[in-house]
Amino acid sequence: MTPVCLEIVRADGRVHRQKLTDDRTTVGRSDQASVCVADAPELEPLHILVVPRERGVWLSSARNAQTPVLLDGKPFESGELPLGTEVDIGSITLRVVAGDDGDRTKRARNIVLLVLVGVVAVPLLGGRDDARPPAPTEPPPPLFAAKQDNCPSQGEAAVRRGVQLAERARSKTLRYPFDPREGLAAVALYRSALPCLEEAGVAEEIAREEKRVRQRIEDDYQLLRLNLERALGESDWSQSATATSHLLALLADRPGAYRDWLLGVQRFLELRLSEDNDKKKKDRK
C-alpha cells in the first residue's frame, strides 16, 4: 500500500503533516484524538475519522457536527478520497498526500507543531465514575479472520457449490442494512465460495465482491466506534445507545472484554435514559 499522509493546513499557513501508520486516525479538539487541534473551535472533539486506502483514504465526518466537511464546496459525510484531494472544515483544510519521508524531512523546518492551549482537555471517557462509563480495557476485536476455507468438493460439484454460496452471500448482503449479522455471514459465504470457483474463472470477480462487502462493514465498524466515543464524550446518551446497539449486533458472536464493556455501557445508558425520561415527566407536571 502506498504510504499516505494527511496535511492539516491552518488559515495562517501553519501545516501539520501526519503520516497515517495506524488503521484509523481521528482528528478533533479532544486530546483523545490521534491528531489534536485544540485551538480550532470549528472542530468537534472527534470530528474526522481517516482510514488509509490503497490510493488515498476513506474519510468520515462525525454525525451532527456543527461545522460540516466540504468537498468542492459541497457537504461531504463519508467516502473514499484519492491522493491530492482537499476538504475544508471552517478555516481548516485537510489535504490527502502521498507519504514521502524525504519530502517530509525537507518540510520539517517549516512545520509549526499544533499545541494544546489553556488547560488540558478533559478525556472523553473520564470524569466522575458515575458521570460516564470507564474506557474499555482492551481494543475492539477484528471482525474477520485472515483464514480462507478450503472447498470440500471438486470438479463440477465444486463449481455448483461455489455458485450457490455466492448467491447466498449476495442475498445476505442485501439484508445487511437491516441486520449487521447478515453482512458478516455474507463475507463468510463469499470466502467459502472462492476456493470452489478457482477453476471456473470467476474467483477474481467473487473476491472483488467479498472485498467490497467486507470493506463496507469494516468502515461502518470504525465509524460506529468513533460515533460512540464522541457521543459519550458529549453525554449524548441517545446517540450513544444507538451506536452501542449497532456495535453489539456486529459483535454478537465475538465474546471478549470489549463486548463485555459494551454490555456495561448499554446498562449504564439504559439507566441514564430512564432517569432523563423520569425527569422530563416531572418537569411536565
pLDDT band at 250 (very low <50, low <70, confident <90, very high): very high
Is residue 170 one of the residues assigned to a domain? Answer: yes
Determine contact, residues 190/213, Cβ cutoff 8 Å. yes
Q: Are residues 164 and 106 in the same domain?
A: no
pLDDT band at 105 (very low <50, low <70, confident <90, very high): very low
Range of the domain at 33: 4-110
Burial of 245 (0-12, 13-18, 19+ CB in 10 A): middle
**Average pLDDT for 59-87:** 88
Is residue 136 one of the residues assigned to a domain? Answer: no
Query: How far apart are the C-alpha atoms of 36 and 193, rounded to whole Å?
Result: 44
Is residue 70 one of the residues assigned to a domain? Answer: yes
pLDDT band at 164 (very low <50, low <70, confident <90, very high): very high
- What does the buried/exposed string (b/e) look like for 126-165 if buried means 16 or more CB atoms within 10 Å of the residue's CB? eeeeeebbeebeeebeebeeeeeeebeeeeeebbebbbeb
What does pTM read for this prediction? Answer: 0.60
**pLDDT surpasses 70 at 110:** no
**pLDDT surpasses 60 at 85:** yes
Q: Are residues 257 and 161 in the same domain?
A: yes
Distances (CA, A) of 158 to 69, 147, 188: 48, 19, 17
- pLDDT value, residue 129: 44
Is residue 144 one of the residues assigned to a domain? Answer: no
Phi, psi for 271 (deg, rounded to 5)? -65, -45
Is residue 63 one of the residues assigned to a domain? Answer: yes
Q: Are residues 74 and 159 in the same domain?
A: no
Task: Name the domain count of the chain.
Answer: 2
Q: Are residues 104 and 8 in the same domain?
A: yes
Determine contact, residues 45/62, Cβ cutoff 8 Å. no
- pLDDT value, residue 134: 83
Q: Tell the residue number behind the cell numbers 474519510, with chain if given.
A: 59
**Strongest mean pLDDT among 18-22, 246-250, 273-277:** 246-250
Lowest mean pLDDT among 105-109, 135-139, 153-157: 105-109
**pLDDT surpasses 80 at 127:** no
Residues 6+ apart with CB under 8 A from 94: 6, 7, 8, 9, 27, 48, 59, 86, 87, 88
**Average pLDDT for 184-202:** 88
Is residue 137 one of the residues assigned to a domain? Answer: no
Mean pLDDT score of the chain? 82
Determine contact, residues 258/141, Cβ cutoff 8 Å. yes
Lowest mean pLDDT among 48-52, 149-153, 208-212, 262-266: 149-153
DSSP 8-class letter at 64: T
Lowest mean pLDDT among 34-43, 101-110, 156-165, 271-280: 101-110
Residues 6+ apart with CB under 8 A from 232: 124, 125, 132, 133, 240, 265
Q: Are residues 210 and 103 in the same domain?
A: no
Is residue 166 one of the residues assigned to a domain? Answer: yes
User: Which residues sit opposite 56 in a β-bridge?
Assistant: 53, 82
Determine contact, residues 73/66, Cβ cutoff 8 Å. no
More confident residue, 17 or 108: 17
Determine contact, residues 273/248, Cβ cutoff 8 Å. no
Q: Are residues 159 and 101 in the same domain?
A: no
Query: CATH number of the domain that 49 lies in?
Result: 2.60.200.20
- pLDDT value, residue 109: 35
Which grid cell sits at 274?
430512564
**pLDDT surpasses 60 at 102:** no
Q: Are residues 105 and 183 in the same domain?
A: no
